[in-house]
Amino acid sequence: MHFTRSASLIAMLAAAGCGGGGHNGFFAATPATPAPVVTTPAPTLAEKCATFAGQALGGGATVEDAQVVAAAGAQPEYCVVHAKLDGSTLRFEARMPTSGWNGKIAFLGGGGFDGAMPVATDPQFSESILTERYATLGTNGGYDYPGARGLDYFKAAFALNPEQLADFTYRSEHRALPPGKALVASFFGTPASRSYFEGCSMGGHDALMQAQRYPEDFDGIVARAPAGNIMGLFMQFNRISKRVRTPANSLDAAKQALLANAVLAQCDGLDGASDGIISRPGACHYDPAPLRCAAGADTGDDCLSDAQIGTVDAVTSSIASADGKWTHPGYNPGAENTAKGWGEYIWPSAAFGGNSVQGLFSDGFVRSFITQDPNYDTLTWNYDDWLPRMGVVGGMFEAFDPNLAPLNARGAKLILWNGTTDSSVSPRDTERYYDNVVGALGQAKADQTVELFMAPGVGHCYGGPGPDKVDLLKAMATWVEQGTPASAQSLVHRKVDASGATTATRPLCKYPAYPRYKGSGDMNDAASFACSTS
């Protein structure tokens, strides 16, 4: 009986085994071989790029196209994405490195009347944008200008469209930033750790607009040659361009050289170095009267007529509207005969039909922004006759508010920079803005938030006889992330030749200091200069 039960139990166990086919039954069953696991490698960022085409982005934007652009020179391989704000002509571009991203965004400001995307290879931008592999964003300013920029570009016809006018004057970067950040986060799989802004000229205007109206947008803002006082600037453009369009009022090449040499003779040595660079323009109180021709008539190239002296005075003197709301301080004397001085924006050119670059921009401003009449005779324009419209446009366009208390409260930073021979954005205007900020915040709070650096002998955004290169975005990132302001980083302006080799340096001096020659040493070496206020 016991045997029978044991045998039955063994039989039951054998029957309940894995059934396996082994010759020893249950106790010798062999496990089945598991199926191999097939893993698909994650796509590379370059492969991921094309998948963004057609995607909707947070913030009300849609991707139009996305493609990889090969590395070229200092520019790394990028995924370049173009997106459009829904129901708008505002577009933005993102360039995201496919390897080595530093985790940060650099938003690039545009220039002129915009209409195209800014690119980091433009010499106005800091080198670290490329070398440290920022993801960049930039907008078209609210509209696309078709084709290459010809004279029609300066007509600024977009300003007749209220939505495009609003985007251009104050809101394009602010609107594009949220979907731009969302795109960057989606592409890399993580949000950017920091967001910075850099722009020059109209991009500098946009930088100040961000600092004043949208202080929450960026951790640090670099404003080069910032056209914040944009209404006063266009008033001055119109004033000067009307004069120089009359040939008798303008100066030919010989008279430009005569004036430039006279200014240098009086003001070049004010910094202790006679090197062709005026480093103390604030101390250069030049009066052209000694160059006056006999009886004020134009008697040759060794003197200036009264009409020509009147033009010099118009360039260097201030103006104001009748209500005192809109003003401009005039431009510095110096570099009257150079392509990156007065020659850049002030003197008329046959290529522009006898107009100047100031004239082209101011004509477009007067006709499209103010009178809204494309056939308006700008030679007859008087800003005091248009004060109501000036107020409307200025309410959108002006970026000269010195109240940076919200920026200070957030702990964000602003760096201002201007060339001293700039004939577009007056260096006097940028100095005036900084002084107004100090007046509004007090020096202690201003020092926490903003620093201004002037570049002696440098024209609009770059170029001229003075050293013009300095990586202000790197300086800004150091200030924000490490707490060391740019003025304490021992930075220098560099001048480079066509090969990129440095040929001269000057110390980067926080305004109101300027680089003063120590009296000995190589004048091309920053070590031979010290920052001085006297």
- Position 224 in a domain: yes
Q: Cβ distance 14 to 25 under 8 Å?
A: yes
Q: What are the structure tokens assigned to 495, written together?
A: 């001048």
Q: Are residues 431 and 468 in the same domain?
A: yes
Q: Are residues 211 and 272 in the same domain?
A: no
How far is it, in rounded angstroms, from Cα 320 to Cα 181? 41
Sequential DSSP letters for 442-473 = -HHHHHHHEEEEEETT--SSS-SSS--B--HH
| CA–CA distances in Å: residue 22 to residues 15, 27, 305, 391 | 13, 9, 117, 96
How far is it, in rounded angstroms, from Cα 316 to Cα 287? 10
| CA–CA distances in Å: residue 124 to residues 229, 266, 270, 361, 436 | 20, 31, 28, 20, 26
pLDDT per residue, tens digit, the chain (534 aa), is: 443 333 333 333 333 333 333 333 333 445 566 666 556 677 899 999 999 999 999 889 999 999 999 999 889 999 999 999 999 999 999 999 999 999 999 999 999 999 999 999 999 999 999 999 999 999 999 999 998 889 999 999 999 999 999 999 999 999 999 999 999 999 999 999 999 999 999 999 999 999 999 999 999 999 999 999 999 999 999 999 999 999 999 999 999 999 999 999 999 999 999 999 999 999 999 999 999 999 999 999 999 999 999 999 999 999 999 999 999 999 999 999 999 999 999 999 999 999 999 999 999 999 999 999 999 999 999 999 999 999 999 999 999 999 999 999 999 999 999 999 999 999 999 999 999 999 999 999 999 999 999 999 999 999 999 999 999 999 999 999 999 999 999 999 999 999 999 999 999 999 999 999 999 999 999 999 999 999
Which amino acid appears at position 479 of this protein?
A: W
The torsion angles phi and psi of 23, rounded to 5 degrees, stand at: -70, -15
| CA–CA distances in Å: residue 357 to residues 112, 364, 425 | 11, 11, 12
Q: Which domain holds residue 49?
A: 45-149+166-229+399-491
Q: Are residues 135 and 246 in the same domain?
A: no
Q: Are residues 405 and 271 in the same domain?
A: no
- Position 3 in a domain: no
Q: What are the structure tokens assigned to 460, written together?
A: 């609009």
- Between vectors from CA 87 to CA 86 and to CA 91, what angle results, nearest 5°? 60
> Domain with 214 in it: what CATH number?
3.40.50.1820
Q: Are residues 484 and 410 in the same domain?
A: yes
Q: Are residues 285 and 373 in the same domain?
A: yes
**Burial class of residue 221 (count of CB atoms within 10 Å of its CB; 0-12, 13-18, 19+):** buried
Last residue of a domain, one of 396, 422, 443: 396
Q: What are the structure tokens assigned to 17, written together?
A: 């085994």
How far is it, in rounded angstroms, from Cα 225 to Cα 109? 12
Sequential DSSP letters for 331-371 = --SS-TTSTTTHHHHTS-BGGGTTB-HHHHHHHHIIIIIIS
The total of structural domains in the chain comes to: 2
pLDDT at 148: 87
Last residue of a domain, one of 396, 415, 444: 396
Which amino acid appears at position 325 of this protein?
A: K
- Position 384 in a domain: yes
pLDDT at 27: 37
Last residue of a domain, one of 396, 418, 438: 396
Q: Are residues 86 and 142 in the same domain?
A: yes
pLDDT at 96: 98
Q: Cβ distance 178 to 171 under 8 Å?
A: no
Sequential DSSP letters for 303-315 = SB-HHHHHHHHHH
Q: Cβ distance 387 to 403 under 8 Å?
A: no
Q: Cβ distance 274 to 200 under 8 Å?
A: no
DSSP 483: -
- Position 125 in a domain: yes
Sequential DSSP letters for 135-163 = EEEEE-TTS---SS--GGGGG-GGGGSHH
pLDDT at 40: 64
The torsion angles phi and psi of 16, rounded to 5 degrees, stand at: -90, 0
- Position 511 in a domain: no
Q: Are residues 75 and 187 in the same domain?
A: yes
- Position 524 in a domain: no
The torsion angles phi and psi of 255, rounded to 5 degrees, stand at: -70, -35
Q: Which stretches within 189-229 are classed as H helix?
A: 202-213
CA atoms within 13 A on the CB side of 154: 14
- Position 159 in a domain: no
Q: Are residues 225 and 364 in the same domain?
A: no
Q: Are residues 298 and 184 in the same domain?
A: no
Q: What are the structure tokens assigned to 430, written together?
A: 């940028």
Q: Are residues 248 and 212 in the same domain?
A: no
- Position 345 in a domain: yes
Q: Are residues 343 and 256 in the same domain?
A: yes
How far is it, in rounded angstroms, from Cα 344 to Cα 422? 8
Residue among 145, 143, 144, 138 at smallest CA distance from 93: 138
